[in-house]
Amino acid sequence: MTIVVGYVPTPQGDAALTAAIQEAQLRKEGLHVVNTSRGSAPVDNRLANAEQLTAVRQRLDESGVDYQIDQKFKGDEPSAQLVDLADELEASLIVIGLRRRSATGKLITGSQAQRILLDANCPVLAVKAD
C-alpha cells in the first residue's frame, strides 16, 4: 500500500513529510508526496521550487523509502486533490501538516485540513510543526 502526504514548503509541510517518512518506514510502505496549487497555473507560494524539491528528494533518498513526487495543477482545491489521489491509490494513510488559524480565518477561508479529515476514506494523520 501507499501513504499519501500533502507537502508544502513550510514548517508544517516539513513536519508532515517527517511524519510520513516515519510511517512509511514503520509500515514498510511506499510514499506518494503531493505538492499542489490552488489554481491551474503554477504561481502559488505553496508550490515547491526546484531547490526545495531537490531537498525533499534528498531526504527521501536518505530515508530509504520508495517514493514518488507529484506537483499538481488541476485547479481543484488541494484537499480534493489529496483525497482523490488517496482513493485512486487505495492509500492506507494520508499525512498532513496543520497550522494555527484564527477563528475569523477559519470562517472566511474554510479549512483544507478539515475537508481532508472529513472527506478521506482512509485514516488521516495530522501533525503540527514544532
What total number of domains does the chain contain? 1
Task: Answer for the pair 99, 111: CB distance below 8 angstroms, yes or no.
Answer: no
Query: What is the C-alpha to C-alpha distance for residues 17 and 121, in angstroms, rounded to an integer?
Result: 20
For residue 112, the model assigns a pLDDT of: 86
Whether the pLDDT of residue 124 is over 80: the answer is yes
Which runs of consecutive H residues, i.e. helices, occur in the chain?
11-27, 50-63, 78-89, 103-109, 112-119
Burial of 72 (0-12, 13-18, 19+ CB in 10 A): middle
pLDDT tens by residue, 61-110: 999 999 999 987 666 788 999 999 999 999 999 999 997 655 554 544 45
Tell me if the pTM is above 0.85.
yes
- The x, y and z cell numbers of residue 87, run together, are 482513493
Domain that holds residue 70: 2-128
| CATH code of the domain in which 113 resides | 3.40.50.620
